[in-house]
Structure 1
Amino acid sequence: MGDYADLPGVRTWYETDGKGDPLVLLHGGFCTNDTWGAQRAELAAAYRLFLPERRAHGHTPDVAGPLTYRDMADDTVAFLETVVGGPAHLVGWSDGGVVALLVALARPDLVRKAVVIGATFRPGPECFAAPRMLDAMAPDSPDMRFFRELYEPVTPDGPDHWPVVAAKVIDMWRTQPTLTARDLARVAAPTLVLVGDDDLMTLEHTVALYRAVPDARLAVVPGASHLVPLEQPALVNRLVLEHLAQDTVETMMPVRRATAGGAGVGTG
């Protein structure tokens, strides 16, 4: 079951599940909470889950004007303050990962740990493995059918609003986000960067994200695409739960994580 929260930016639909420390799940672009189906039960066994659907997604209405990641991050901050009631772990998939990064930058006091799955920090034309996919996207195209069928039955704006939302999201992907490595260096939350080895963005872009976020952890899941939480749910769930539970990383030969002034263990 779900409910609405009257946030300053938009009346936001959300669901809750489980008990324990708060964990907010942030879905991907064009998606709804249904796409967390392979994660929900296992994560809810360890955490109190909060699942908001962002503006123009699922049960949450669209808002006049363009869609921006920063507006959705502001909505998420308001959600954390008014519904969650304080700091939480954030797990964001795709667009949800972008939102998680922006929230961690804007309000580090509200983010305990973060997991970003298939996320970007630059616009699609700069980081997508196949940037031309943006040109092929149209509201009525076969590739968009899956998302349209998620949207139409539940949107309060009515199914006829789909072309408007589709155009807004695609435009957002073309022009946003616009973070830099210097911006990402200010992320204070311990962060796991997770990606499929055949994801929408280039692996080089994901590695740049991992390298820019201080003390981040990187997981590249073999034989997986941008839908890695659906394709490899058991592995993704384990990686998420281990990251949230583990406070320090101890390895036998640290290089990137070697302490300042210290040295890693050599082999020669």
Structure 2
Amino acid sequence: MTGPSELRFFPSADGDLAYLDTGSGDPVVLLHSGYVDHRVWDAQIPALAAHHRVIAPDVRGHGFSANATEPFRWADDLAGLLRHLDAGPVVLVGLSMGGVIATDTVLEHPGLVRAVVTCGAATGDVQYTDPWYQEVQAESARALAAGDVQAWLAAFLRVVPGPHRTADDVDPDILRRLREMALHTISKHTPGEKNLLVPVTGTWSRLPEIDVPVLAVNGALEPADPRDAAQRLAEAVPDGRAVTIDGTGHYPNMERPELFNRTLLDFLRAL
């Protein structure tokens, strides 16, 4: 896994934001999922960097980046980084929370984006109705409120196999890596800490504004909610399509990296 020694830091107006910047060519930005960091992309970074400039930030409050001390939007942080690096327009590839950041950014800063790939995500306005998802979210919220890190970690890791498998069905190294990253991020925060994130809202009605190619990827073993949301995203934009990756849940990039990388590289080559 990449480490902090390879990271660079962008001095934002509210603390330093960490990012990896490697390779050369047309820029691709990898946006990680919640509670982890850029290392979730370890299997993608070298594959992409062979042909592309790869920028993989740790978003505010995660990994090696500063926490917020004032209201912020992740899309604005990303736009600030891309302007600092003179890197746009870029292809945004976002996993889960990172996928929401990708759609937020193309809506709020369209000139910086030339294509979008979401994975296990659509927009920040998705409402999950699946009972299993709601149960995991409630479990996570209870543990966070109580400051019970081990109970929170257990809820966080339930998402990896999803509702149709158990942890025994997942490579233990994937669970170990996610646990390590999540523990690092959660240790930066305190129970009851004020959430300063300002969400981007009203996104569903704005999706037709997205005039760049969009690929929505999901693991086939995800609950129906995220797969349906991905299909809705792909149908709402002028140039969108949705694909599923068999035999994977919420982290297809980790569970089936070769297939995920091939799907991503095929999309990039077609731009």
TM over 0.5: yes
Aligned to 1:136: 139
Number of corresponding residues: 236
Displacement over 6 Å in runs of 4+: none
TM-score (norm 2): 0.77
Within-5 A mapping of 1:74-113: 74-113=76-115
SS in 2 for 1:161: coil
Out of 170, 187, 193, the position equivalent to 1:159 is 187
- Quote the offset at 1:164 in angstroms: 5.5
CA contact (8 A) 2:121 2:229 kept: no
What is the aligned partner in structure 2 of residue 258 from structure 1? none
TM score, norm. by length of structure 1? 0.78
Q: Percent identity?
A: 30
The residue aligned with 1:210 is 234
RMSD, matched Cα = 2.7
**Distance across 2 between alignment mates of 1:181 and 1:27:** 22
Q: Is the 8 A contact 2:122 2:226 kept in 1?
A: no
Q: Aligned equivalents of 1:9 and 1:191: distance in 2?
A: 31
Judge conservation of contact 1:8–1:75 (CA < 8 Å) in 2: no
User: 1:154-188: per-residue Cα shift (whole Å, max 9, x none)?
Assistant: x6xx93635457x849xx7xx96644432111111
2:255 corresponds in structure 1 to 231
> Is 1:198 aligned to residue 231 of structure 2?
no
Q: For the residues of structure 2 that align with 1:55 and 1:159, how far apart are their CA atoms?
A: 14
Q: Tell me, yes or no, if the aligned pair for 2:103 and 2:122 is still in contact at 8 Å.
A: no
> Which residue, out of 119, 144, 151, partners 2:121?
119
User: Quick one: which amino acid aligns to residue 196 of structure 1?
Assistant: G
Mapped contact 2:27–2:87 kept (Cα < 8 A): no
Distance 1:221-1:177 versus aligned 2 partners, 3 A rule: farther
SS at match of 2:44: helix
Change (3 A) 1:121 1:85: closer
Give secondary structure in 2 for the equivalent of 1:132: helix
Mapped contact 1:39–1:237 kept (Cα < 8 A): yes
2: CA distance between counterparts of 1:120 and 1:114? 11
Q: Which runs of 5+ in 1 are unaligned?
A: 248-268
Output the CA distance in 1 between the equivalents of 2:28 and 2:192: 31
Q: Give the Cα separation in 1 of the matches to 2:226 and 2:87.
A: 37
In 1, Cα distance between equivalents of 2:40 and 2:155? 17
Q: 1:182 to 1:189 in 2, by over 3 A?
A: same
Show the 5 A alignment for 1:1-268: 1-64=6-69, 71-123=73-125, 125-126=127-128, 130-137=133-140, 138-139=143-144, 140=149, 141=151, 142-144=154-156, 149-153=180-184, 159=187, 161=189, 163=191, 168=195, 178-199=201-222, 201-247=225-271
